[in-house]
Structure 1
Amino acid sequence: MTQPSQSNNNRMVIKLVAIVIGMFGFGFALVPLYDVFCDITGINGKTNPYAATYDVNTDVDTSREITVEFITRNQSGMVWDFEARTKRITVHPGELNTVEFYVKNPTAKDIVGQAIPSVSPGTAALYLNKTECFCFEQQPLQAGEEALMPMQFYVDPQLPEDIKVFTLSYTLYDVTGTSSVAMNRG
């Protein structure tokens, strides 16, 4: 091989390695960039992971009715029975509401679960305020144990007029191996 050809090959290899490193870095940056973009635009359907406060003096808009639907599902490998006791509720913006979710650990081993919420359409997530939710913390259930888990919420009266129905979906994950929650409750 001639000297200029070897030099060209070396430069090409360096450029290709730089491109691969750049693509890898861009891939890592996409997750936080996506989160920022979704937070700004409100299109991701993520709800606030912290409890909202409810002011009893909040004006309830009785002229509007919003239908909230509840869907539950388990991540692959999560064996709990998990269901919304209320599948659909009609609420007035500003009104405090409570619904319950049922869980049962039908196995012979203790399991810790974590529910992750999502709202559709995603814009509605900005106006859903949960004052109490099982999704704020990991939920340990001993073998054969069952529980009712409340979720208390209100819909902000500023919810856009065109949103008359939205769906709150919970996906339940088995986080036993990564949990810091102690299993003994008694």
Structure 2
Amino acid sequence: MTSETTRRKNSRTGIIAGLAAAAMVGLGFAAVPLYNLFCKVTGFNGTTQRYDPVAAAAEPKVLSDTVSVRFDSNVSPKLPWKFYPEHPRDTVSIGARDMAIFIARNESSQPVTGTATFNVTPLQAGKYFTKIQCFCFTQQTLQPGEQVRMPVLFFVDPKIKDDVDARDIQEITLSYTFYPVDEGKKAS
């Protein structure tokens, strides 16, 4: 093998390795949005659906079937709040809109800002649990001793009855966890 052939092979190998590295970096940046899209479409990991006002014209029909919805609440130990559902359980008609109220109270002597994340279990129910209005991912600032009522409007899509893996679900749990907002990273 000549030195010219070796140099071409080394150049080609270097270009291929560089392109592979660039593709990996690109996939690294795209991973989070792609994962979020995957979860939204499939309901993976208990991801709920977001209410689409355009699709509201074709409201789902209300079925005579019902499902029990359990409301769970958690608070980070770093957040001095009490947080709980007004009613820990509700029985809802599949396809009907319903509302749950969560109550949060700042137990400290200073204003505190928190934000909530959520999930739905069993996981296969996530893609059929549609939130119309929710307080999650929105920063909530409570003054010392302040108590607020936070509504969640939702429905369980009737398509759940067409899914072999989800149609026999009798109870869905909607769980929220409140965390303190890092004041250094607080949105302006």
Which residue of structure 2 lines up, in the alignment, with residue 170 of structure 1?
176
For residues 87-137 of structure 1, give each alpha carbon's deviation from its aligned partner in whole angstroms, at most 9, with x where no partner exists. 111111122212211100011111122111111122322222222222263
Q: Which amino acid aligns with 1:45?
A: G
Equivalent of residue 61 in structure 2, options 48, 55, 59:
59
C-alpha distance in 1 between matches for 2:98 and 2:143: 29
CA distance in 2 between counterparts of 1:54 and 1:46 reads: 20
Corresponding residue for residue 9 of structure 1: none
Matched pairs, number: 174
Label 1:68 to 1:21 Cα distance change in 2 as closer, same or farther (>3 A): same
SS at match of 2:32: helix
Moved more, 24-33 or 171-180: 24-33
* Counterpart position of 1:148: 149
Report 1:35-114 matches (<5 A).
35-48=36-49, 58-62=60-64, 64-114=65-115
CA distance in 2 between partners of 1:134 and 1:29 (Å): 27
SS in 1 for 2:126: helix
The answer to whether the 8 A contact 1:49-1:136 is kept is no
2:7 alignment partner in structure 1: none
> Unmatched 5+ residue regions in structure 2?
1-18, 162-166
Spell out the pairing of 1:2-17 with structure 2 (5 A cutoff): none
Equivalent residue of 1:94, what SS?
Answer: coil
Matches of 1:86 and 1:145, distance apart in 2 = 20
CA contact (8 A) 1:51 1:130 kept: no
Contact 2:109 2:144 in 1 (8 A): yes
> Alignment identity in percent?
38
More helix by share: 2
1:57 and 1:50 mapped to 2: Cα distance? 11
Report the 3-state secondary structure (helix = DSSP H, G, I; strand = E; otherwise coil) of the residue aligned with 2:158: coil
Q: From the superposition, tell whether residues 137 and 54 of structure 1 become closer, same or farther in structure 2 (CA, over 3 Å).
A: farther
Aligned partner letter, 2:62: V
Contact 1:113-1:174 at 8 Å conserved across structures: yes
Whole-Å Cα distance in 2 between the matches of residues 164 and 170 of structure 1?
20
Note if contact 1:72-1:169 (Cα within 8 Å) is conserved in structure 2: yes
Distance 1:86 1:129 in 2: 19
Q: CA deviation at 1:57?
A: 6.6
After TM superposition, the score normalised by the length of structure 2 is: 0.71
Whichever residue aligns with residue 104 of structure 2, its letter is V
Contact 2:113–2:140 (CA under 8 A) maintained in structure 1: yes
